Structures are given as C-alpha cells and as structure tokens.
Structure 1
C-alpha cells in the first residue's frame, strides 16, 4: 500500500475482525474513520448477483461527477476492465480475502495512479461476507490536481492481501483462469455471447 491512509483503513479492519475472517458491518464505526469517509464506499451484491454501491464517499462521487449510491460497481470502471473488477469484488466477498487494486484514472489531462482497497464485511456473525468496505485513494499525497469528472478507472494490477497487508497473489497471466476454476459459475460474470 502506497497511501498511508489505505494502511490505516486496513489496520482498522484487521483490528475489528480479530481472529475471524471478516468483521461485522455493525462493528464499523464511521467516527473512527471520519477523516477518510470521503474516500470510502460500501458495495454489496445486488439481486442480479452483481456488485453495487450501497454508499460512496463525497470525494469518490466528486471525482466522477455523479452520485454512486445504488449504482452498479461496474459503472466506475472503463468498459474493458469491468468484468475483471466484478470478478475480483466477488472473490473478496466469497473467499473473505482482502484485496488491493492498482488503478489508473484518466481525467483528460493525463492519467493518475490510485489504489483501491477491498475488505470483506459480514452482515451477521454466522453468515459469510456479503459486502465490501472499500477505499479509493491516490498514490500521491497531497491529492493530485485532477480535472473533473474522470472517465473511469482502469485496472492495472491487483493482489489478495494476507492479515498483515502483504500480497500473495498478483494479477499475472493465469490468475483470472485460476479464479474461474475456483469460483462457482454463479459468482462469475456472464459473457454477452451466452
């Protein structure tokens, strides 16, 4: 993680979960993350099996020039990166494994480097994760000047994280195929041809 705020969010999530796979959504205290709320979002799988934003911070909405609450998670991404981004969020929820995504953001004047943290969260103790707590933060601080609105996110790389924030799988050729073999078909995006 390049942005120290991402590290603070990850450490907060790690402390909340303790020895469990994921914390409960009711344990997340917005006051504890109040300075980072503009950069946070919650996404959950909707009735169609696709991730959608439940909440999105003001900085995220400002970057895209729109409200994301209720919008499909895919709408934040450039079209070519949508299937892979959906696949990753589903994997984070299904396997209850946090992930860090390296993303690019095009604003008409150039490309800005950002990171997206995806952390699984449970609605109930006895159930598996059903949503993610996410953060979208730039690599550089202070925040880079960005012409708004941006056109969308491009996925450059991603990795699952262990309990200490170290990566153990990165997005290299074959990882998407590995996830297809591991995940049940209901967790994978359907191709337009089928």
Structure 2
C-alpha cells in the first residue's frame, strides 16, 4: 500500500473485523477515522446486484468531479471497465476478501493521475454482507483537486490474502504463472550427449 491514508484505513478495518467475515456498519466510528473521512466511501449492493454510493467523503467526490451519494458505482469507471469493476465488487462480498485497486483518473481538462482504492466487505446486520467500505487516495496527497469530471481506469486489481500478500485478479494486466501439478518436477535431467 502506497498511501498512508489507505494503510491507516486498512489497519482500522482489520482491527474492527477481528477475524470475522465482515464488521458491522454500526461498528464504524467516524471519530476514529477523522483524518481519513474525506477519502472514505460506502457502497450498498442493490437487488439487481449493482452497487450505489450510500455516502462519500469530500475528496472522493472531488476525484469523481461530482457528488457521489446515490450514484451508480459503475458510472465512475471508464465504460469498458465498468462491468469488470462491478464484478470485482461482487467478489469482495462473495469471498470476504479485501480488494486493492490501482487506478488512473482521466479527465479532458488535466493530465491523468494515479490513485489507490480499497474495497472491504461490510455487514448491514449480522450474517448479511451487503455493503462495501471503501477508501480512495491519490498517489500524490499534496495534489490540489478541483471538481472536474473524470473517468477512473483500473490498472491493477489485487485481493489481499490472509497472509497480506496480494493476488492478482486482473489477468489482462498481470498474468499468474500456471500452477504445477503436485509431486511433478519442474524439469528433468536426461542423461546423454557427447562423451569425449
């Protein structure tokens, strides 16, 4: 994780989760996230399995260039990436894993810039994992942001495993090595050749 804000929110979330599939929405205390509040957001999964923003911090809205509340999650992404990102968000709820996304913000009135996003599973009530707690931070935290309309383009998606090691889920960006069958050597030495 490149950004202090992302790392701080991740640590807070993991403490709150305490080994469970997901913490409850009611357990999140905004006072404990004071410095990160402008960068956090919450998504709700709707009946059609799409996602809508329940709330979003001020810096998050500036990145999007518009108020995010009640906005379709798919609408913030570059059109060719929107479906992939909705499926990725669905995977967060289905697997209970945290997803880290490296991405680029593109607008027509400024150079593109990099960001980092976390998507973390959240429960509205015990046993119902139907929300996502998120954080979005620019690679350059000193970059001034203005409310310009931007598309987001994912460049790398990684689930964070229990060992905190990233695992790519975006094959078009990072191909994983094919799995080797158990007990099968990677190579074999064949005796032969010239003997002088």
- Is 1:121 equivalent to 2:107 in the alignment? no
CA-atom RMSD, angstroms? Answer: 1.8
The question of whether the paired residues in 2 share the 8 Å contact of 1:65 and 1:149 is answered with yes
In the alignment, which residue of structure 2 is the partner of 1:91? 91
In the alignment, which residue of structure 2 is the partner of 1:166? 165
In the alignment, which residue of structure 2 is the partner of 1:139? 139
Unaligned runs of 5+ residues in structure 2 are 175-196
In the alignment, which residue of structure 2 is the partner of 1:15? 15
In the alignment, which residue of structure 2 is the partner of 1:185? none
For residues 164 and 150 of structure 1, the distance between their equivalents in structure 2, rounded to whole angstroms, comes to 37
Q: Spell out the pairing of 1:15-164 with structure 2 (5 A cutoff).
A: 15-107=15-107, 108-125=109-126, 127-142=127-142, 144-146=143-145, 148-163=147-162
The question of whether the paired residues in 1 share the 8 Å contact of 2:74 and 2:85 is answered with yes
Q: Larger C-alpha radius of gyration, 1 or 2?
A: 2
* Displacement of 1:130: 0.6
The question of whether the paired residues in 2 share the 8 Å contact of 1:14 and 1:163 is answered with no
* Displacement of 1:161: 0.6
> How many positions carry a matched residue from both structures?
173
The question of whether the paired residues in 2 share the 8 Å contact of 1:98 and 1:117 is answered with yes
For residues 122 and 146 of structure 1, the distance between their equivalents in structure 2, rounded to whole angstroms, comes to 32
For residues 173 and 37 of structure 2, the distance between their equivalents in structure 1, rounded to whole angstroms, comes to 35
For residues 173 and 66 of structure 2, the distance between their equivalents in structure 1, rounded to whole angstroms, comes to 35
The question of whether the paired residues in 2 share the 8 Å contact of 1:121 and 1:130 is answered with yes
Unaligned runs of 5+ residues in structure 1 are 176-194
* Displacement of 1:146: 4.3
For residues 68 and 45 of structure 2, the distance between their equivalents in structure 1, rounded to whole angstroms, comes to 15
* Displacement of 1:115: 0.6
